Amino acid sequence: MDWNLRLSTSTSPIRMVSLMLILLGLYYFSVRGERKKEIVWTLVAATSTSLFGFRLEPLVLLMALVIDLYLSGEDLRNISILCLLIPLPIVLIGYSVISHSPQEWNIGVLGLPIYRSAHTLWVFSESIGVSWPYGSTMGKAIFSMPRAREVVSEVVFGQEGISLTSTIFGPPMLDFGVPGLFSFFAILGILSSVAKSRSKLDRYPYSVFLSFLAVGVETGIEGSMLTILVTLSYVSWRVRDEEV
């Protein structure tokens, strides 16, 4: 893997568009009930994105698959087997990063996720001092696609061109402070309710929504995720309206 290529694509619109197209393709298989194709292509996409050193895409893809199969009433034994595959991209990501990064890492492949989690919590703690109590970036940490995470690095540490995660609390706190946190999670609650009510008609958008929430605990929820969810929801509405 070319490390410079990874860095250039990590904050490129191509990354968001690619994930959106992958999810739309998997949604097509889910709607048509083509389980085998959905499973196979999810595994292919998750493995491919893992080799780039990205963690959001493979984890979202695998978790969305597991949730979708669970909601569809799939045999729990099959779902359990797929759950065992979720740690695989974490290992591939760790190997890819440690093997190709110009930095010298003194931790093992499995230690990298632990380090990243601790680092993310530290970034959030530092961002509180910058954003307390009413925020400082006025929407840039959430909506500056595709470089929302770079805003965190620039504002909190004064470093440009570096993508940093700051937990699910970081972006709304940095943008709008304490009031932003309450408003952000109130909106997430409303969206969760709407997505849940629609899940009886269309499972996959709800599965992706829950996957983004789970991964967002570490990465944060930002504009590219919201764009993908809006697009997927729009396609879902159109498909169901045409069926009616």
Angle at 232 between CA 229 and CA 237, to 5 degrees: 120
Please tell me the predicted confidence (pLDDT) of residue 90. Answer: 64
Please tell me the predicted confidence (pLDDT) of residue 110. Answer: 64
Decide: 61 and 45 in contact? Cβ < 8 Å.
Answer: yes
pLDDT tens over the chain, length 244 residues: 555 666 666 777 788 888 999 999 999 999 888 988 998 999 889 888 877 767 788 889 989 999 998 888 877 777 787 777 767 666 666 666 656 555 665 666 666 667 778 888 898 888 888 888 888 888 888 887 767 788 888 888 888 777 788 888 888 998 999 998 899 889 888 888 888 887 777 888 899 999 998 988 888 888 888 888 888 888 888 776 665 4
Q: Which domain holds residue 18?
A: 3-243
Please tell me the predicted confidence (pLDDT) of residue 232. Answer: 87
Q: Tokens standing for 130?
A: 């910058």
State the amino acid at position 193 in one-letter form. S
Please tell me the distance from the alpha carbon of residue 177 to that of residue 180, in angstroms, as a whole number: 5
Q: How many domains does the chain have?
A: 1
CA 211 to chain centre: 7
What's the pTM? Answer: 0.85
- The structure tokens 């899940």 sit at 199
Query: Which are the contacts of 85, defined by CB distance < 8 A and separation ≥ 6?
Result: 43, 62
Please tell me the distance from the alpha carbon of residue 179 to that of residue 187, in angstroms, as a whole number: 12
Please tell me the predicted confidence (pLDDT) of residue 212. Answer: 92
Please tell me the distance from the alpha carbon of residue 240 to that of residue 238, in angstroms, as a whole number: 6
Q: Tokens standing for 140?
A: 């840039």
Decide: 36 and 44 in contact? Cβ < 8 Å.
Answer: no
Please tell me the predicted confidence (pLDDT) of residue 4. Answer: 63
CA nearest 67: which of 215, 198, 196, 207? 207
